Amino acid sequence: MTANEVTQAIRGRLIVSCQATAGEVFHDPHLMARFAAAAVAGGAAGIRANGTADIRAIRGITSVPIIGIHKVQHHDGRLLITPSFESAKALVDAGADMVALDCTARGQRLGALDRIRQIREGLKVPVLADVAEVAEAIAAAQAGADFVLSTLRGYTEETNHVQDFDPNFIRDLVRASSVPVIAEGRISSPDQARRAVAAGALAVIVGTAITRPSDITRSFSAAIESEYLRRNDVSHAIGIDLGGTQTKYGVVRSDGTLLFKSTLETPAQSGARAVLENLKRVGESATRRAKDAGYDPIAIGVATAGWVDARTGRVVYATGNLPGWTGARIGEELSAISGLPVAVENDANALAVGEKQFGAAKSFEHFVCVTLGTGLGGGCYVAGALNRGAHSIANQVGHIPIVSDGLLCSCGAQGCLEPYVNASALIRYAGSSYTSTAQVIEAANSGEEIAREAVQTLARHLARGCAAVVALLDPQALILGGGLTENNPLLISVLNDEMAKLVRPWTNRELRVMASELGYYGGVLGAAALAFERAFDPKRGRQNSSQTTVRVG
């Protein structure tokens, strides 16, 4: 087949990788052929297969295009895909219509680019380049590769931090490559396959999620067992809620019981290193106190101001509420001193997780949490999953612009929602009679008119920002947490009334506006909920459990 014929055959279609390694139940050419037949019957437009025996058996039962590969263990101890012209020729002789080979930086050092030219000229078949980075794809295309594949993203030394399918990488490949891109690697669901096509992929290759029953079973088994253990096996975690003013922390039982709690001041204006060192001391103190009380924490969770890459525990962006906090490696440093898994998340996202696990949102699939304190944070669940966004900086409710050329915000812009609804704003609205938000709220509850008007003013501003979020996401509930919501029923009441004026259609939405059920230590409970999720994550295995080996290609 020519490259154009292959393109026409697989455009917008699924290719199934039918492979089994030595020692697996299905490591047999005839069984692989049956898998391929089932895949084709289900709509697959092509097959990817390893080794001449499997390819010969598969070619005997189908005429769809076959991508041939030959995996061998190189002398450096690592697998290499199609290491020689001779191995490529054997694949074609067995019935492969095209050949794929490792064109990562390592593969290129081992002669992959010259091998592309040899295969194309000597065998007259299309050549596919398995890559992990954009530069590798460009080099392979320039060397004559007919297609580039994202197969090895996450499996090289340079990219081993990548653990999940990333459609943005597919988009980057498509933009940079002069030849068609086929998405492959860590694609485990139809939605991810759809997102690969949406990112510009010509076709999608799926393997483990379709053709490895043991791995499929293991994923279901691990998910079920870990959730059962999380809900029924009594365990404990440290929860830390790092705010711009205070750091709250405690030990939480797996049923959501807060066993002890404490609060101290956050040295926010002393710089990022001082905040991080303080956070480490809090972690050590909480862990020591837990063990002294007979609890053995299995993980630490941190809810922090700023936005976080939850995979690494690094702060990707923070405003002036915590100066210099962008780039802080919270997860890495706390894990190093504690020896425990550490989950780190934006504070409002953490509250949302806490509400989902322990609080008011147990029955909701779509809801928004808003935290009101030194700043304003947002956490959103969409279709039952926490929304983090493409770059881990979603849910910036506090930075929705509401006033043209308005007040200066902690992010550096003017007119954002946050400076109109944070703690400083409430005191400002109340005038010089009050020195703290607690005083204003207490006075409002006692009927003092200036304090009541201050709360109402803040609620009206908040309604404008929240109306935009509701119009966009159509949640079932809007849940308010943080210091400004404590003992503040007037805020909830006015917010609900103002939202009814701003959101259309209001009655159809049946939106519930409510205060967090988790209270003042909601961030601590949310951080602990994240810690339990990390400790019982079926992708990582339970703490101290054996790990599953991931196969490539």
Whether residue 177 contacts residue 148, with contact meaning beta carbons closer than 8 Å, is answered with yes
Residues 6+ apart with CB under 8 A from 519: 486
Check if the beta carbon of residue 181 is closer than 8 Å to that of residue 210: no
Using CB atoms within 10 Å of the CB of residue 526, give its burial: 0 to 12 exposed, 13 to 18 middle, 19+ buried.
buried
What is the mean predicted confidence (pLDDT) over 270-288? 92
Residue 195 CA to residue 215 CA, distance in Å, equals: 23
Residue 97 three-state SS: coil
CA angle (159, 536, 196) in 5-degree steps: 40
Cβ count within 10 A of residue 232: 10
Q: Which residue has the higher pLDDT, 244 or 88?
A: 88
pLDDT 10s digits, 438-461: 999 999 999 999 999 999 999 999
Same fold, 3-211 and 234-349+525-535: no
Domain layout of the chain by residue ranges: 3-211, 234-349+525-535, 363-516
Q: Cite the beta strand spans of 52-199 per DSSP E.
A: 66-69, 71-73, 79-81, 98-102, 127-130, 147-149, 181-184
Look at residues 27, 69, 28, 32 and name the one whose alpha carbon lies nearest to residue 52.
Answer: 69
The residue with tokens 């490949």 is 173
Burial class for 63, CB neighbours closer than 10 Å (0-12, 13-18, 19+): exposed
Above 50 in pLDDT, residue 550? no
Please name the residues in contact with 513: beta carbons below 8 A apart, sequence gap of 6 or more: 477, 478, 480, 492, 495, 496, 499
What does the alpha-carbon distance between residue 432 and residue 447 come to, in Å, rounded to a whole number?
Answer: 18
pLDDT at 226 (0 to 100): 65
Sorted by sequence, the CB contacts under 8 Å of residue 535 that are 6+ apart come out as 235, 237, 298, 299, 341, 542, 543
For residue range 500-533, what is the model confidence (pLDDT) as tens digits?
999 999 999 999 999 998 988 999 999 999 999 8
Which residue, chain included where needed, has tokens 């550490």?
A: 342
| 26-81 pLDDT, tens digit each | 999 999 999 999 999 999 999 999 999 999 999 999 999 999 999 998 888 789 99
Mean pLDDT for 135-157 is 96
For residue 547, pLDDT over 50 is answered with: no
Task: Give the pLDDT score at 164.
Answer: 85
Please give the structure tokens belonging to residue 133.
């980075």
pLDDT at position 543: 45
Q: Given a cut of 80, is residue 427 above it in pLDDT?
A: yes
**By three-state DSSP, how is residue 433 classified?**
helix
Quote the strand ranges of 98-194, DSSP E: 98-102, 127-130, 147-149, 181-184
Average pLDDT (228-242) is 82
Dig out the tokens for 384 from the structure.
């039952």
Six token digits for residue 55:
């390819």
Rounded distance between C-alpha atoms, residue 302 and residue 354, angstroms = 12
Identify the helix (H) or strand (E) that includes residue 55: helix 52-59
447: left (phi over 0), alpha (psi -120 to 50) or beta: left
pLDDT class for 269, splitting at 50, 70, 90? confident
Instruction: Give the mean pLDDT of the chain.
Output: 91
Average the pLDDT over 291-301 and give the result.
90
Where are the strands (E) in 348-410, listed by range?
367-372, 376-382, 385-386
Confidence of residue 433 (pLDDT cuts 50, 70, 90): confident
pLDDT of residue 549: 34
Average pLDDT, integer, range 382-406: 92
pLDDT at 501: 95
Angle (CA) 36 39 45, round 5°:
95
Whether the predicted pLDDT of 169 surpasses 70: yes
Torsion angles phi and psi, residue 386, rounded to 5? -65, 130
Give the lowest-confidence range in 187-191, 213-217, 239-243, 305-309: 213-217
pLDDT at 544: 37
Mean pLDDT for 332-336 is 92
- pLDDT band at residue 548 under the 50/70/90 scheme: very low
Sorting pLDDT into bands at 50, 70 and 90, what band is 343? very high
Residue 231 has pLDDT above 90, yes or no: no
Query: What's the average model confidence in pLDDT over 389-394?
Result: 88
Contact 48, 40 (CB under 8 A): no
Q: Are 237 and 249 in contact (CB under 8 A)?
A: no
pLDDT in tens, 481-498: 988 998 999 999 999 999
Those residues with Cβ within 8 angstroms of residue 349's Cβ, 6 or more apart along the chain or in another chain: 303, 308, 377, 379, 386, 388, 395, 526
Which CATH code for domain 3-211? 3.20.20.70
CA distance 479 to 486: 13
- Per-residue pLDDT at 232 exceeds 80: no
Q: For position 192, what pLDDT does the model report? A: 94
CATH fold of the domain at 363-516: Nucleotidyltransferase; domain 5 (3.30.420)
| Structure confidence by residue, pLDDT tens digits, 304-320 | 988 999 889 999 998 88
Domain 234-349+525-535 CATH assignment equals 3.30.420.40: yes
Which tokens is 166 given? 């990333």
**How does DSSP classify residue 296?**
-
Global pTM value: 0.63
Torsion sign, CA atoms 248, 249, 254, 257: negative
Query: Closest Cα partner for 313 from 334, 298, 297?
Result: 334
